[in-house]
A and B are shown apart, each in its own frame.
Chain A
């Protein structure tokens, strides 16, 4: 226990709404609001903040936010390469490294999304309601490595995340007999959790397995209710040293371990890469990372009291449950069907806030927020005596994860 361990001391968020509903505030103003609330939750002042950390697909550069917030000095401004949803936990880990190595003392991790003010993810910038362009398609110069890679997906209409992540899930169904009803069980469980959470966008909308099965097909096997929400909103997490954490407003939550991970040859994952190793294709790609994460903390899947698992799609949750060793490879379907993910009676209460499927889609930083609340006893689905919480970022892309512990 000699290693200095960073602590999460504050969490906060703005209102969460459906996609495009926040039009009166800019995305960066919303980020400032979430940061202010998280700092206040910690019992700190904005004047104490000397670092900002985020992860890929962020339009709100830390240097501008620092100026808008009036930070006395910005000593640490950091961005994770792992793609969008895959990097939330890694951003918290970077904040932890910064405070543990003295790069900064109080680092705030943030994410703000007002998609309605920009463009909708997964459209490739095309408006499907506009008349078709008369120009026949021609080959164009890719302005980034990412776009050159997308060149192997876009011409075939592979633009929507719902279609991309259907590919590994469909193969999992083929290999192991996983069913749509089993996927639906995940969505229904998280919706039940959301019904207790006043912040949840879908908190007032009950869902049964029949509703799930009747929801329209988006990209087979993904029905509408297998897909996460598209939301507007922002949240933030405050990280500082153990020393600084001792006398703050709330009981600190310790970062027991963190990891980032992309297996060999993974690149961006199945979205653009059809050539992921066969043994990895129908997985979340997190198995090696999970074993390193647990190894660092001297823990195992059996030590997890509560989990916040990135749920861009129901299938990706199921694949991660296997990756993290909660059940054997191929057994995710029967595992979720048994009710383990349900609060309060399941053995692994998961996404106690409702997740991206039912609380809000804030690229999973809201899962870190809920992880902290679940260890403080502040969750609306409180897990009695919970000491260790697993938080994961998006799977089927290069990912990251945290083990959080109650002090």
Chain B
């Protein structure tokens, strides 16, 4: 038991042969998306065919790990015992892959400071020898509480 985002005992991540290379890249701390070798369209989750041109050829494009919050929810109910509440699930629009988003968590941010459009960057959490998970934190420090922000003009400009 540790400073992990979630306690142990959460349902395990699951992969099949199509998605396995994506998970293996995570283990090397590389966030990738699948790219169609024929038309260049990027996609996530990995899939056998490009849904645009139906080519089965693809390679992997590594991303910067930056992005912005597309939508989110703040969850107040635990899944596993010992879970820190509330926690933030966010859909992140990823920089460098047009229209590609992923589900993840926001860390290092007060729930009240979460907003759609918030710029975020990737942070790795090593789960075990064979698993690392990408989570995201705000690129700028989260703004102070609304009360303080009201009094200090320069800080509010950061939002």
Contact = CB atoms under 8 A, between A and B. Distances in A.
A277 B130 CA distance: 32
A220 B74 contact: yes
Contacts of B78: 128
A217 interface: yes
B108 to A, nearest CB: 15
* B interface bracket (residues with beta carbon within 8 Å of A): 35 or more
Interface stretch (A146-154, A199-207, A347-355, A383-391): A146-154
Interface stretch (B53-61, B82-90, B138-146): B82-90
A191 to B, nearest CB: 22
A272 B89 CA distance: 12
A396 to B, nearest CB: 12
B81 interface: yes
Contacts, number: 180
B8 A167 contact: no
Interface in B25-84: 43-45, 51, 70-83
Given A132-B80, A264-B51, A141 B103 contact: no
A133 to B, nearest CB: 4
A247 interface: no
* A interface bracket (residues with beta carbon within 8 Å of B): 35 or more
Contacts of A168: 71
A150 B87 CA distance: 19
A134 interface: yes
Contacts of A153: 103
Interface stretch (A157-165, A254-262, A336-344): A157-165
Contacts of B71: 167-168, 170-171, 174, 281-282
B3 interface: no
A167 B73 contact: yes
A265 B14 contact: no
B13 interface: yes
Contacts of B13: 137, 139-140, 151, 154-155
Contacts of A151: 13-15, 19, 23, 45
A167 B74 contact: no
Indicate the member of B8, B16, B102 with the most A CB atoms within 10 Å. Answer: B16
Contacts of B109: none
Contact of B73 (A142, A145, A220): A220
Interface in B124-141: 127-128, 130-131, 133, 135
Contacts of B10: 124, 126, 137, 154-155, 157
21 contacts: A125-B11, A128-B83, A133-B8, A135-B8, A135-B9, A138-B12, A142-B14, A148-B14, A148-B15, A149-B45, A156-B135, A157-B10, A160-B79, A162-B77, A168-B71, A170-B73, A174-B116, A219-B76, A220-B86, A274-B101, A282-B71
Interface of A: 123-143, 145, 147-160, 162-163, 166-168, 170-171, 174, 216-222, 264-265, 270, 272, 274-275, 277-278, 281-282
